[in-house]
């Protein structure tokens, strides 16, 4: 008799889609999420290509369904510690970190943020703004309940044990400093890994000038700059307060180091140009790429539209960013072998997609191998692109390899389908 | 008026109570028509609050419930559940937003209180017009029709067929296997040989829950999710037709290749030894790679992106299969000179770049070029091109293999009409939502998978088939009834003029025209309740069952008091 | 008299985008002028011409219809239909001796809380400037 419950690791688009399909079918889903909110990376975007649809609006109904579906039990601030057993009878240990704020009592009024004396870098906002030690990562976060960062909270880290400014401001008795981390034991019949992606750390690629030249941004930082609910509310303002007049977007950052094309960067870089052209019509925008990877049905048309709007697309063989006389220069060798340079106020680096979270340790815990590129390995030789070598354990989304949102959703639906077939 | 309306104002801690004079609100609204009781409570969404409401409903024998609290997007379902459990029809309820859109946005307490009173009056006035809508349940058939017997169709059949669920696999030609069966090999990380495809074909043939209908086509389809009827015409059985009843349909009709005759510069059909990709696959599958004169080629040019500009999209798979061809040629004909001509290399999968790098190391030339002109010269093919940088050049080869764009298969438009499915600008089937629902169509229960949706490689086609199967496995469970949307539209026959405006605006195909009566009819099993039809009906014949015109009318009236 | 004039405004907001945006404006504690009464509809295309015209006839000084951005409609095409209807309605308002600007259409997404507040406040300002409508019935004016 197989255990009908399913463990889904990761609440991005893939994890949510699979959970909803499994939940609708009547299976009980334990949805584990490492962070304090659901929605993965997509909620960081303002718009998605090629239709420029509002990312948060698009995904909000799914997030709401996850929070309200009776068959889905959500564990936030949680990670998998141990997996034992086999298909139909896995025994999983989850470590659930303390949130210190009750999900049941908190109504999301936000009265506790202001009195908190601690200000720290907001990781969700890619360090572009600060937040308090008790905070939600961004406006509109779901669930709309804050978390206390125990390392920075003065009371929890021992620096000022009597501080309870947040608790005093709360009218709903939602704050509990004595909450403890928990270890939970779950029994499931199947496991789905949907831990998503991150971007390659460009600090390790000094030729791109990140952090040396202030106005060099990673793609994720730019997404937050662009977002209406972001640190600048969508206003295009550089770190020094200026509005950029010439912008370089460099594709393929980390491509040769990682050894694969991430498939989505050409399109999202073009999306950036679309936004930039709209916000600053007189700006000079240059996209630097090696090969253009725009395989979707409607992608080429979108690229053509941006090209016609006067955005330059320059093919490069070699590229680097240098600071000279306070200005940033993109120095490159173009496709014909000629050397040239482009002076930019703002540089955006479209970096390679890498597996999200702590993939290596999760792989070891679950007992799944990673492929040469560091992503979870599937039985692709058997043409089973969601099944891993272990029966009952599946992968979906960018955890398996770089892909776009529809690709992740389809893979999540496929994995849910496969899980339903084995559990029924 | 026998209503007994219970009005409960939530204090939401200090969130509402500090910004609105709730006592004054209660005073003002308790005298409204139909109100039996008007009270306040600390936090209605808490367990205490919910129990309190349930008790009140029973104690006061309420006929309608009005709660003034937070946004309905937050807790409408919560309180509807309370009504259900307390024995009150959940649609005889209205949740009024006096928090997000009142208390939190208006700092002047007087104004906020005034607004709250207005909104609550509107809710009380409106709720008496709510109808006690009931949930419906429909029987459903779990069986599935799959149109197309290629790799996508076969995969879906294998995922779905079971003792509780029969699958009909309809294939136009005599054989299963589609395009993939013509290939000589797959890419190495997709499976080192075609045996896995043969295995799948055999599995589906041996599966007693799959009825395979080759040499057959779908002629007609009617119905909706859980209850479709399809007519299949067989070309073999003396042209008989067969009627089947299914609950869902997967369209997996694959692709065909762009005809390079439309791009005469490549000399296809005119110059000897210029082949397209499928012809080369067949040639290598036969084991003999030969020129027309019977000799093996000593030099080959592979030209990517044929028809790309004409069609306006990149077909994603051609760079990779061209590299596959190049390496295959080197394996079978050692010493052969192979050149690949491309505009942009499309290598989107994680293993692709390594595959390409290895090809380069094996001495395959990769040349970025466009502006081609192929001519016959001295028994060879002279490929003239313009390289990156603008320099014109040419190369003489024995054989040229063209990689043409992938286009929709032959009967796509015909099938689209039969199933009432939209096609997009490229001619492929159009998914309902490019981002979040890449394999569904606007017709609930009808899915598309594989290259019928657009160019993709084999693993992606398989994922899409598995995804469509996943959705069916989840929504069409043997024995489980289907619960369609409750707040649908309905048409009053006597007012319908038969203009069919509603039909034209319904994105989901939920409205049909009754020729005999000359009126439009709503299929409540398909209707999503958006109200587009209601908004566009010139005679007011069509109305919503909830958010009716009189209900909204009352809200407007109260707003303008 | 114009300074004391408090316009009576009605807004039809679609459930999926604009109503959510309004909620976000509220959660962000953004201030709006208290003249707009919000009526929730499932899709902006539900707002038929009767409702709008009658709202004016019953004394609304301004009517706002808000929906999802083009391309984002939860029901795919609803907002396109209401856009067409809106263009027609503006023409009809002229025949009723009403300034066409009294009817406004706005696309507001679920994440645009700030924008919602800006749209509503500007709408209130615009209508205040236009003054009471020809059908205004508020005796307090």
Burial profile A289-324: b = 16 or more Cβ within 10 angstroms, e = fewer: bbbbbbbbbbbbebbeebeeeebebbbbeebbbeee
More confident: A348 or A383: A348
pLDDT of C138 above 80 = no
Q: DSSP states of B310-327 as a string?
A: HHTS--SSHHHHHHHHHH
CB contacts of A340 in chain B (<8 Å) are none
- Domain boundaries, given as residue ranges, for chain B: 5-133, 144-254+409-475, 260-405, 489-545
Burial degree of A70 (CB within 10 A; 0-12, 13-18, 19+): exposed
Q: Based on the domain organization, do A388 and A317 belong to the same domain? A: no
Chains in touch with C (3+ beta-carbon pairs under 8 Å) read A, B
The H or E element that residue B232 is part of is: strand B227-234
Say if residue A185 is in the same domain as residue A68: yes
Over residues B513-542, the pLDDT tens digits come to 999 999 999 999 899 999 999 999 999 999
pLDDT band with cut points at 50, 70 and 90 for residue C141: very low
Cα first-last separation, chain C: 7
* Full DSSP string of B178-213: TTGGG-S---GGG-SSTHHHHHHHHHHHH-TTEEEE
* Closest C-alpha to C12, from B506, B486, B559: B559
Question: Contact A139/C28, CB-based, under 8 Å?
Answer: yes
Nearest CA in chain A to C17: A57
DSSP class per residue in B421-474: --B-TTSSBPPSBTTTBTTB-SSTTEEE-GGGSS---HHHHHHHHHHHHHHHHH
- The backbone region for B215, taken as left when phi is positive above 0, alpha when psi lies in -120 to 50, beta otherwise, is left
Q: Give C-chain residues touching B532 at CB under 8 angstroms.
A: 43, 45-46, 75, 77-78, 81
Across the interface, do B475 and A292 touch by the CB < 8 Å criterion? no
pLDDT at C94 over 50: yes
Q: Assess whether A30 and A76 both reside in one domain.
A: yes
On chain A, the residues whose CB falls within 8 A of the CB of B77 are 68
Report strand pairing: A346-351 vs A393-395: unpaired
Q: Which residues contact B359 (CB under 8 A, 6 or more apart)?
A: B323, B326, B327, B366
Contacts of B106 in chain C (CB under 8 A): 31-32, 34
- CB within 8 Å of chain A, chain C residues 72-131: 72, 74, 109-115
- Is residue A142 in some structural domain? no
Asked, for residue A282, whether it belongs to a domain, the answer is: yes
Closest partner CB to C51 (pick from B102, B537, B556): B556
Looking at residue C136, what is its pLDDT? 82
> Which run of H or of E encompasses A325?
none
The answer to the question of residue A256 being in a domain is yes
- Contact check, Cβ <8 Å, B104/C29: yes
Of B70, B436, B460, the CB nearest to A409: B436
Residue A75 lies in a domain: yes
CA-nearest of B73, B74, B76 to B65 is: B76
- Answer yes or no: do B437 and A411 touch at CB < 8 A: no
Burial class (CB in 10 A: 0-12, 13-18, 19+), A360: exposed
- A215 with A274, same domain: the answer is yes
Residues A325 and A214 in one domain: yes
CA B28/CA B5 separation, integer angstroms: 15
The architecture (CATH level 2) of B260-405 comes to 3-Layer(bba) Sandwich (3.50)
C48 and B505 within 8 Å at the Cβ level: the answer is no
Q: Is C54 in the B-facing interface, judged by CB distances under 8 Å?
A: yes
Min Cα–Cα distance to chain B from C101, Å? 19
Q: Does C29 touch chain B (CB under 8 A)?
A: yes
Count of C-beta atoms within a 10 Å radius of residue B208? 8
Residue B237's pLDDT is 64
Tell whether B428 is within 8 A of chain A (Cβ).
yes
Q: What is the mean pLDDT of residues A352-370?
A: 93
Q: pLDDT over 70 for what percent of chain C? A: 94
Extract long-range pairs of A177-182: CB within 8 Å, 24+ residues apart. Answer: A177/A100, A177/A148, A179/A98, A179/A99, A179/A100, A180/A98, A181/A95, A181/A96, A181/A97, A181/A98, A182/A95, A182/A96, A182/A98
Going by C-alpha positions, the residue among A412, A298, A402 that lies closest to residue B454 is: A298
Counting as contact any 3 or more CB pairs under 8 A, the partners of A are: B, C
Query: What does A126-137 look like in DSSP terms, one character per residue?
Result: TTSSEEESEE-S
For residues A215 and A345, state if they share a domain.
Answer: yes
A370 - beta bridge partners? A376
Strands B446-448 and B248-251: parallel
CB within 8 Å: B159 and A410: no
Q: How many CB atoms lie within 10 A of CB A238?
A: 15
Q: Tell me, yes or no, whether A305 and A408 share the same domain.
A: no
Say if residue A45 is in the same domain as residue A187: yes
Domain that residue A338 falls in: 201-352
Mark C77-111 as b/e (b = at least 16 C-beta within 10 Å): bbbbbbbebbeebbeebeeeebbeebbbbbbbbbb
Radius of gyration of chain A (CA): 23
* Per CATH, domain B5-133 is 3.40.50.960: yes
Q: Any chain B CB within 8 A of the CB of C66?
A: no
Q: Does C28 touch chain A (CB under 8 A)?
A: yes
Q: Has the ipTM of the complex gone over 0.85?
A: yes
Q: Which of A352, A374, A408 is the last residue of a domain?
A: A352
pLDDT, mean of residues A237-258: 93
Model confidence over A63-108: pLDDT tens digits?
989 998 999 999 999 999 999 999 999 999 999 999 999 998 898 8
The answer on pLDDT for A220 being more than 60 is yes
Q: What percent of chain A has pLDDT over 90?
A: 81
Helix/strand/coil for A291: coil
| A175 within a domain of the structure (yes/no) | no
| Residue B423 preceded by cis peptide, ω within 30 | no
> Domain B144-254+409-475, CATH 3.50.50.60 — does that match?
yes
The predicted pLDDT at position B518 comes to: 93
Indicate if the pLDDT at residue A113 is higher than 50: yes
Residue C19 has pLDDT above 70, yes or no: yes
Residue of B192, B347, B473 lying closest to A420 (CB–CB): B473
Confidence of residue A228 (pLDDT cuts 50, 70, 90): confident
Last residue of a domain, one of A352, A372, A387: A352
**CB distance B348–A385 less than 8 Å?**
no
Partners of B531 on chain C (C-beta within 8 Å) are 41-43, 45-46, 78
- Hey, of A42, A47, A57, which one would you mutate to test binding to chain C, going by the most C CBs within 10 A of its CB? A57
Do A231 and A294 lie in a common domain? Answer: yes
Q: Say yes or no for a CB contact (<8 Å) between A413 and B159.
A: no
Instruction: Assign A38 a pLDDT band (cuts: 50, 70, 90).
Output: very high
C113 chain-A contacts, CB cut-off 8 A: 139-140, 229
Which of B94, B96, B97, B98 is closest to B131 using CA atoms? B94
Under DSSP, is residue C113 helix (H, G, I), strand (E, B) or coil?
A: helix
Residues pairing with C79 in the sheet: none
Domain B489-545: give its CATH code: 3.30.70.20
A323 in any annotated domain = yes
> What chain B residue is nearest to A19 in terms of C-alpha separation?
B474
Q: Å from A106 to nearest chain C CA? A: 14
Is the separation of the CB atoms in B375 and B267 below 8 Å? yes
Any chain C CB within 8 A of the CB of A108?
yes
* pLDDT averaged over 10-residue windows placed end to end, chain B, 561 residues: 90 87 94 94 90 95 95 91 95 95 93 95 95 93 97 96 96 94 83 80 96 96 94 83 96 97 96 96 92 95 96 95 95 95 93 94 95 94 93 96 96 94 94 92 95 95 96 94 92 94 92 94 92 92 92 91 81
| pLDDT tens figures, B326-369 | 999 999 999 999 999 999 999 999 999 999 999 999 999 999 99
Question: With 0-12 CB in 10 A as exposed, 13-18 as middle and 19+ as buried, what is B481?
Answer: exposed
Q: List the CATH number of the domain containing A71.
A: 3.50.50.60
Contacts of residue B166, Cβ cutoff 8 Å, sequence gap at least 6 = B143, B144, B209, B210, B211
Q: What is the largest CA-CA distance in chain B?
A: 102
CB contacts, 8 Å: C92 with chain B: none
Query: Using CB atoms, which residue from C72, C114, C115 is nearest to A57?
Result: C72
Pairs of residues, one from chain A and one from chain C, whose beta carbons lie less than 8 Å apart: 51
**What is the four-CA torsion angle of B133, B139, B141, B142, rounded to 10 degrees?**
70
CA-nearest residue to C48 within chain B is B535
Residue A148 lies in a domain: no
Q: Same topology for domains B144-254+409-475 and B260-405, yes or no? A: yes
C-beta atoms of C31 and B107 within 8 A: yes
In this model, does residue A269 exceed pLDDT 80? yes
CA distance C34 to chain B (A): 6
Q: Which of residues 17-76 of B touch A (CB under 8 A)?
A: 43, 45-46, 70, 73
Q: DSSP letters of A91-131?
A: EEEEEE---SB-TTT-----TTTTT---EEE-TTTTTSSEE
Test the B interface: residue of A39, A111, A258, A413 with most B CBs within 10 Å = A413
Portion of chain B with pLDDT greater than 70, in percent: 99
Higher pLDDT, A346 or B389: A346
- On whether the CB atoms of residues A36 and A65 are closer than 8 A, the answer is no
Taking an 8 Å cut-off on Cβ atoms, the answer to whether B487 and C32 are in contact is no
Q: Which of A140, A144, A233 to mutate to test the interface with C (most CBs of C within 10 A)?
A: A140
Domain end (from A291, A325, A352): A352
- Chain C CB contacts of B102 under 8 Å are 26
Chain C residue with minimal CA distance to A60?
Answer: C110
pLDDT exceeds 60 at position C31: yes
- In the DSSP assignment, the letter for residue C120 is H
B103 touches chain A (CB under 8 A): no
Pair (A187, A261) in one structural domain: no
What is the nearest CA distance from A162 to chain C, expressed in angstroms?
A: 30
Give me the residue from A46, A53, A228 closest to C71, CB to CB.
A53
User: Is residue A312 classed as helix, strand or coil in its secondary structure?
Assistant: strand
Total domains present in chain A: 2
Residue A320 lies in a domain: yes
Q: Chains with 3 or more CB pairs closer than 8 angstroms to B?
A: A, C
Same domain assignment for residues A251 and A323: yes
- Asked whether residue A267 falls in the same domain as residue A413, the answer is no
Task: For residue B74, list chain C residues with Cβ-Cβ distance below 8 A.
Answer: 23
> pLDDT higher for B360 or A326?
B360
């Amino acid at each position: 008799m197989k255990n009908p419950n399913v463990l889904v690791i990761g609440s991005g688009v893939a994890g949510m889609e699979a959970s909803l399909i499994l939940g609708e079918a009547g299976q009980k889903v334990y949805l584990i999420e490492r962070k304090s909110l659901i929605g993965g990376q997509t909620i960081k975007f303002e718009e998605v290509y090629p239709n420029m649809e509002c990312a948060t609006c698009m995904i909000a109904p799914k997030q709401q369904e996850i929070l309200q579906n009776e068959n889905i039990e959500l564990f936030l601030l949680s990670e998998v510690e141990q997996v034992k057993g086999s298909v139909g009878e896995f025994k999983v240990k989850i470590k659930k970190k303390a949130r210190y704020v009750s999900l049941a009592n908190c109504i999301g009024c936000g009265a506790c943020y202001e009195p908190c004396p601690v200000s720290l870098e907001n990781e969700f906002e890619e360090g572009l703004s600060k937040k308090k030690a008790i905070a939600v990562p961004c406006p509109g976060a779901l669930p709309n309940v804050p978390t206390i960062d125990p390392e920075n909270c003065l009371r929890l880290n021992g620096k000022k044990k009597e501080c309870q400014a947040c608790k005093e401001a709360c009218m709903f008795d939602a704050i509990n400093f004595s909450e403890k981390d928990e270890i939970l034991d779950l029994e499931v019949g199947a496991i789905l890994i949907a831990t998503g992606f991150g971007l390659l750390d460009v600090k390790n690629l000094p030729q791109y000038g990140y952090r040396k030249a202030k106005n060099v941004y990673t793609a994720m930082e730019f997404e937050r700059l662009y977002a209406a609910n972001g640190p600048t509310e969508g206003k295009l303002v550089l770190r020094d307060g200026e509005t950029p007049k010439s912008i370089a977007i460099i594709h393929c950052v980390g491509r040769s180091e990682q050894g694969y094309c991430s498939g989505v960067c050409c399109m999202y870089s073009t999306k950036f140009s679309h936004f930039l052209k709209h916000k600053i019509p007189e700006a000079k925008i240059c996209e630097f790429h090696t090969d253009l990877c725009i395989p979707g049905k409607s992608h080429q048309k979108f690229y053509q539209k941006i090209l016609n709007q006067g955005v330059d697309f320059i093919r490069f063989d070699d590229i680097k960013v240098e600071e000279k006389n306070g200005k940033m220069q993109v120095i490159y060798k173009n496709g014909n072998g000629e050397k040239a340079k482009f002076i930019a106020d703002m540089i955006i680096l479209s970096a390679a997609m890498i597996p999200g979270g702590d993939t290596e340790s999760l792989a070891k815990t679950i007992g799944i191998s990673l492929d040469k590129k560091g992503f979870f390995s599937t039985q692709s030789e058997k043409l089973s692109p969601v099944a891993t070598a272990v029966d009952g354990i599946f992968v979906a989304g960018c955890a398996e390899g770089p892909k776009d949102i529809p690709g992740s959703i389809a893979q999540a639906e496929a994995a849910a389908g496969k899980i339903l077939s084995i559990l029924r | 008026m026998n209503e007994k309306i219970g009005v409960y104002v939530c204090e939401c801690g200090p969130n509402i109570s500090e910004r609105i004079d709730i006592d004054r609100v209660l005073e003002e609204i308790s005298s409204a028509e139909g109100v039996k009781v008007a009270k306040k409570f600390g936090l209605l969404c808490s367990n205490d609050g919910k129990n309190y409401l349930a008790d009140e409903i029973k104690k006061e024998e309420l006929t309608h419930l009005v709660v003034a609290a937070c946004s309905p997007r937050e807790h409408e379902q919560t309180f509807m559940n309370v009504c259900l459990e307390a024995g009150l029809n959940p649609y005889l309820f209205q949740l009024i937003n006096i928090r997000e859109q009142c208390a939190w946005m208006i700092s002047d307490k007087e104004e906020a209180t005034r607004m709250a009173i207005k909104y609550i009056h509107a809710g009380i006035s409106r709720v008496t017009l709510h109808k006690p809508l009931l949930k419906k349940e429909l029987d459903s058939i779990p069986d599935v029709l799959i149109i197309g017997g290629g790799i996508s169709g076969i995969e879906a059949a294998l995922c779905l067929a079971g003792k509780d669920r029969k699958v009909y696999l309809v294939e136009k030609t005599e054989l299963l296997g589609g395009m993939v069966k013509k290939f000589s090999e797959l890419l190495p990380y997709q499976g080192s040989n075609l045996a896995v495809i043969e295995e799948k074909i055999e599995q589906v043939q041996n599966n007693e829950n799959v009825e395979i209908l080759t040499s057959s086509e779908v002629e007609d389809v009617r119905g909706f999710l859980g209850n479709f009827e399809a007519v299949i015409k067989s070309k073999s059985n003396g042209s008989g037709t067969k009627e089947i009843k299914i609950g869902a349909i997967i369209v997996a009709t694959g692709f065909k290749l762009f005809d390079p005759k439309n791009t005469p510069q490549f000399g296809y059909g005119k110059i000897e030894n210029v082949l397209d990709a499928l012809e080369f696959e067949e040639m290598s599958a036969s084991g003999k790679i030969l020129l027309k004169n019977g000799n093996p080629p000593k030099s080959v040019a592979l030209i990517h992106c044929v028809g790309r500009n004409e069609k306006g999209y990149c077909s994603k798979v051609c760079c990779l299969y061209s590299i596959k061809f190049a390496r295959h040629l080197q394996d079978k004909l050692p010493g052969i000179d192979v050149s690949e001509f491309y505009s942009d290399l499309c290598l989107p999968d994680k293993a692709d770049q390594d595959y390409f790098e290895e090809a380069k190391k094996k001495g395959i030339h990769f040349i970025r070029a466009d502006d081609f002109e192929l001519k016959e010269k001295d028994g060879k093919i002279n490929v003239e091109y313009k390289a990156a940088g603008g320099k014109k050049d040419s190369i003489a080869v024995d054989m040229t293999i063209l990689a043409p764009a992938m286009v929709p298969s032959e009967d796509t438009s015909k099938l689209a009409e039969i199933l009432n499915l939209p096609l997009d600008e490229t001619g492929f089937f159009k998914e309902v939502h490019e981002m979040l629902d890449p394999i569904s169509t606007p017709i609930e229960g009808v899915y598309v998978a594989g290259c019928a949706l657009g160019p993709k490689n084999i693993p992606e086609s398989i994922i899409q088939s598995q995804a469509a199967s996943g959705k069916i496995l989840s929504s069409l469970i043997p024995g489980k009834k289907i619960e369609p949307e409750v707040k649908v539209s309905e048409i009053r026959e006597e007012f319908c003029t038969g203009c069919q405006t509603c039909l034209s605006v319904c994105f989901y195909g939920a409205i049909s025209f009754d020729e005999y009566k000359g009126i439009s009819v709503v299929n409540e099993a398909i209707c999503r309740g958006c109200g587009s039809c209601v908004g566009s009906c010139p005679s007011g014949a069509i109305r919503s069952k909830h958010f009716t015109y009189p209900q909204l009318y009352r809200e407007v009236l109260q707003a303008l008091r | 008299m114009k300074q004391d004039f408090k316009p009576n405004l009605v807004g039809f907001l679609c459930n999926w985008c604009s109503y959510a945006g309004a909620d976000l404006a509220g959660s962000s504690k953004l201030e709006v002028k208290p003249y707009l009464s919000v009526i929730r509809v499932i899709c902006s295309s539900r707002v038929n011409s009767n409702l709008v015209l009658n709202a004016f006839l019953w004394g609304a000084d301004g009517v706002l219809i808000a929906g999802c951005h083009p391309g984002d409609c939860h029901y795919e095409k609803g907002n396109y239909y209401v856009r067409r209807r809106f263009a027609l309605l503006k023409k009809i308002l002229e025949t009723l001796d009403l300034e066409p600007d009294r009817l406004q259409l706005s696309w507001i997404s679920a994440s645009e809380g700030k924008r919602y507040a800006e749209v509503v406040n500007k709408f209130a300002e615009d209508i205040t400037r236009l003054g009471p409508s020809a059908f205004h019935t508020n005796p307090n004016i």
